[in-house]
Chain A
């Protein structure tokens, strides 16, 4: 009963996918100079701030990029699912399919000098930051070509040159780190911000509130992005949170509720948040989104929610379908062209997997490297290298 009650809420922002029918049709063009004005699926809801406008300008090129990138992310996660099931991926594996619009929209609004830090559902965030499929799959399978040289696995993707700080294993633990990143940015007087991502489950961790207080106290350019996929592992948000209005839970910190299934809403919100954060300090963005897979690969994802709920969200709110409809409505590309893009994504993914499989596992001595900085203080030593020994540099 309760599930059904909530399901209808999840399906709410669905009516506006074709809201732009007033726009005249354009010929297929990825010309950057053509501007299309579209409206976000639902209005933003603000907490202690004036929400941004619903209407947003885009270009055919951007629409096509959104579609292509999200199709690639989706395909990557589906492929990771089967690699995990065939035991080529070990460790724990948390998939992002359904939530792609958050990464895509965020990246469209910010630069690679803005920092992102997230938890363990990190594959697509890494891809969004400019990581490659090969690095992703190689890391997933624990190979040398992986972004963490095969030593991290699914939960620990990093990309320093794009200010992606990973990739953290403990629920909510990355949020205070994000505030530290933001402090460094502010101290260096950079015009950059930090996007600190966490889930609705992590929103109930105490350290989140410690971090919020520090961020607000020192006016840090920290944007707390709550990816609300409505389930903290197997527990529905309303069973775990007295107030599931996460954008309001910063109290003195302003917040914005965003349809996280609409890449353009996310883009608009992130642009707004960046401007706000640089001027006024922290802000919370609650992204109303949904994960199609279970929490991790060991969770079938169907015991605590109905299949109807999942298929309902797929039909009504899917972030890729939303962009597909916009592209078709504006006659930027036809069905077949979009199918071809998806086929290409499939091909790219398959090729990356094949290549990743060729990459060797890390060399065995790698087990002992990176525990401490090389040459400084302590290393693993001994004939069987089982012990630590202090060394003078």
Chain B
């Protein structure tokens, strides 16, 4: 079950000097589930090693197979999508259930809200998270508030918006952004970000079956790079439950998505210097699992948050404020944030912009030695 971020070394050389092996980032709390709510622990050794886009593909295949009222649509998804996540689905389920849309993000999401309002599972793909902004109005004003403003008469809970986010090493201004914080400011939405193939499959199935609209950000850097054993069957991972993926006693690190692999490396390096780090994958950003983070900070007395999005107004700010409220007297150092810089996502200076391992390691040391 060991996570094998194959080829990560090559990738790591872009912005990480140290190529120490990654500890496993795989989940230990997966729950096998099905639509009727039957819950089992996933069997070990039943899964094959697959990468993240294949895991997403499996989840989508299961979603379509297990519910005849589920649909997938978006730009080029009929051909498999630019990241191959929907490969083969149109052939298997037909073009009336997996179909291409015109290039019109606002239309895609609005259409999805209507489809979901009729009791269907509408799985919309926005090709890059950078392109989600034309649909921002539909997501914020239509999807998120549909249930509230109709006094629960209507909702679009069947809507799941999948979109690849984050850096890829050379994506430039419009193929690299991490816009998750914008959506975390919108009650009525759920925001979910997986860190690995197995997590992605379980969390995506939960998101699709979740009775509230979900924006599901997929770490595009990991589509091919992250490989791990993934159970073949249908299983779901709970939303709004953070996971402690590495236990420690000196400092708590909180992150999500692709950033966890970087943070994990910083933890390994910190351990060599005698600092014991606890690493938490938040998994769901809203509503987020404050209890798990709080319990950890009560233990360690220190908190570091890291994300790719710019530091100002990032979701790290919310975590920081909440934990200071809850653990003020227990904190032994200011909460550290190692995030993207307050600049547009750059083309030429991506390695400087990124919250890389060394920046995190420095912040760990500063916080522990405060």
Contact = CB atoms under 8 A, between A and B. Distances in A.
A12 interface: no
A298 interface: yes
A204 B173 contact: no
B348 A151 contact: yes
Interface stretch (A35-43, A166-174, A347-355): A166-174
A239 B352 contact: no
A92 B312 contact: no
Interface string B337-354: 001011110111100110
B172 A155 contact: yes
Interface SS of chain A? loop
A368 B131 contact: no
A344 interface: no
A232 B174 CA distance: 18
B11 interface: no
Interface in A322-362: 361-362
B234 to A, nearest CB: 30
A335 B175 CA distance: 44
Contacts of A387: 311-312, 342
A368 B343 contact: yes
B104 interface: yes
Interface SS of chain B? loop
A367 B342 contact: no
Interface stretch (B75-83, B193-201, B208-216): B75-83
Contacts of A154: 172
B187 interface: no
Interface string A290-307: 000000001100011000
A241 interface: yes
B353 A169 contact: no
Interface residues of A, number: 45
A294 B229 CA distance: 34
B104 A204 contact: yes
A176 to B, nearest CB: 12
Contacts of B82: 233-234, 298-299
Interface in A136-155: 142, 150-155
A146 to B, nearest CB: 10
A385 interface: yes
A273 to B, nearest CB: 25
Contact of B107 (A155, A206, A385): A206
Given A170-B134, A205-B104, A240-B102, A388 B342 contact: yes
A90 B101 CA distance: 28
B225 to A, nearest CB: 16
A201 B343 contact: no
Contacts of B346: 151, 367
B131 A171 contact: yes
Interface in A57-84: none
Nearest to A237: B102
B216 to A, nearest CB: 21
B170 A205 contact: no
Contact of A150 (B75, B173, B175, B348): B348
Contacts of B127: 233
Given A90-B172, A169-B173, A232 B79 contact: no
Interface string B313-340: 0000000000000000000000000010
Given A364-B349, A385-B341, A156 B173 contact: yes
Contact of B172 (A92, A173, A304): A92
B4 interface: no
Interface of A: 90-92, 142, 150-156, 169-173, 201-202, 204-207, 232-235, 239-241, 298-299, 303-304, 361-362, 364, 366-368, 371, 380, 385-388
Interface of B: 75-76, 78-79, 82, 100-104, 106-107, 127, 130-131, 133-134, 169-175, 311-312, 339, 341-344, 346-349, 352-353
20 contacts: A90-B169, A90-B172, A150-B347, A150-B348, A153-B172, A153-B348, A170-B130, A201-B102, A201-B103, A206-B104, A232-B102, A233-B75, A235-B75, A235-B100, A240-B101, A241-B102, A380-B342, A385-B341, A387-B342, A388-B342
Given A92-B172, A151-B348, A235-B76, 6 more contacts: A90-B169, A151-B346, A153-B348, A171-B103, A172-B103, A235-B100
Closest 10 CB pairs of A and B: A91-B172, A90-B170, A169-B174, A204-B102, A240-B102, A142-B348, A367-B349, A201-B103, A388-B342, A153-B347
